[in-house]
Structure 1
Amino acid sequence: MNHTPMSSPHRPVVVLSRALDQAGDALAVVHPDDLDKPTPCAGWTVRELADHLAAAPEHFLQQARGEEVDWSASTGVGGDPAVLAAHFRTHADDLLHHWHGRPDDQVAQADWQSAELGVHTWDLVRAIGRKVPLDDEVAERGLAFIQQGLTDDNRGDAFGAPVGVPDDAPAYDRLVAFAGRDPRA
């Protein structure tokens, strides 16, 4: 899905809205029989990835409020995919409401959230093997953001070494390759 970018200080929030929509759509098509499948996130099953993705908006809000965030904490709502999707949508709405109230000089941080959501949405869609339209601008903005700060020294356990892909590869291939996933695998 392609959208023509508009120049606006709040563009990161517009794109985050689309990142949240596509992540919610991906969570909505997870079936209970998908939960034990492996994912491109090393060592994670669909169950673990879906819970991590469903918790993301709530964790982003905790961070925005200056609270300590345990990024490994689960949603606490159990493993039913429908419940995870509903949990995600509720907190996604709250997250967007938060961003709409922020001044122009703060909204660029929404691109980090788009990057996180974009990578994990791709991971989930790849793992379950279902078609969910992915928005190229989410990947482009997310990639531009993480390329500014993600280095070999700070990748930690969350990101593998970058995987080489052509410069003209599709947007999501470039995003996930930079995050350490092989889009050709």
Structure 2
Amino acid sequence: MTTDEDVGVLRRGLDQLAGLLDDVPSGARGNPTPCPQWSLQDLGDHIVAAPSRFAAMARGEAVDWSATPSAGPDPVARFRSHAGDLLRAVADDGASGGGPVSVDWQCAELAVHTWDLATAIGRPTDDLDAEVAVRGLAFMRAGLTDDNRAPAFRPEQPAPEGADAYQRIAAFAGRSV
């Protein structure tokens, strides 16, 4: 059962990612990211589409993962709208620990892409909500193995000494930190 605390953590993760999306300079959309072969535009499109797709999954709907729609002219507004859908779907579904759209799975998705986006725009992550990344990393460690991490994730990379929670989850997801 999803608790108010679970929904609160998810909301904080969504809100801080929306804030980062808002910080992306409009002229930087073609810039590279830590995600191989993804520009800031590609990463933004993925980030904006993800909550809507996970909300659909929580409602038991089929999701087409083969193509990512454009985030459109106002990606922050679209992301916030999709985030609201996800929060309602998760609260209604009771998706806590390991359900089809668990809060911890969402924390993993949010934390990895929060690091990706922050890194791409030159923003540190040490002051972000660590609980989102800590919960996400625990979820990933419990389910992601060397056998099932590709193609979405590369092999785990070393995290630097003193790494913050977002750097640790990024390194686990195969990002060079």
Tell me the TM-score normalized by structure 1: 0.84
Q: Distance in 1 between matches of 2:61 and 2:91?
A: 20
1:97-176 equivalent positions in 2, closer than 5 A: 97-103=88-94, 106-108=95-97, 109-130=102-123, 133-165=127-159, 169-176=163-170
- In structure 1, stretches of 5+ residues that fail to align are 1-7
Matched AA of 1:107? S
- The two structures, once aligned, show a CA RMSD in angstroms of 2.0
Report Cα offsets for 1:18-44 as digits up to 9, x if no partner.
110111111111122111111001110
Is the Cα–Cα contact under 8 Å of residues 51 and 86 in structure 2 kept in the other structure?
A: yes
Report Cα offsets for 1:142-181 as digits up to 9, x if no partner.
0001110001111122111001226753211111100001
Q: Distance in 1 between matches of 2:36 and 2:55?
A: 26
Q: Distance in 2 between matches of 1:131 and 1:23?
A: 13
SS at structure 1 position matched to 2:20? helix
CA spacing shift, 1:55–1:153, aligned 2, 3 Å: same
Which residue pairs with 1:5 in the alignment? none
Is the Cα–Cα contact under 8 Å of residues 109 and 136 in structure 2 kept in the other structure?
A: yes
- In structure 2, stretches of 5+ residues that fail to align are none
Q: Please list every run of at least 4 consecutive aligned residues from structure 1 whose deviation after the TM superposition is greater than 4 angstroms.
A: none
Report sequence identity in percent.
49
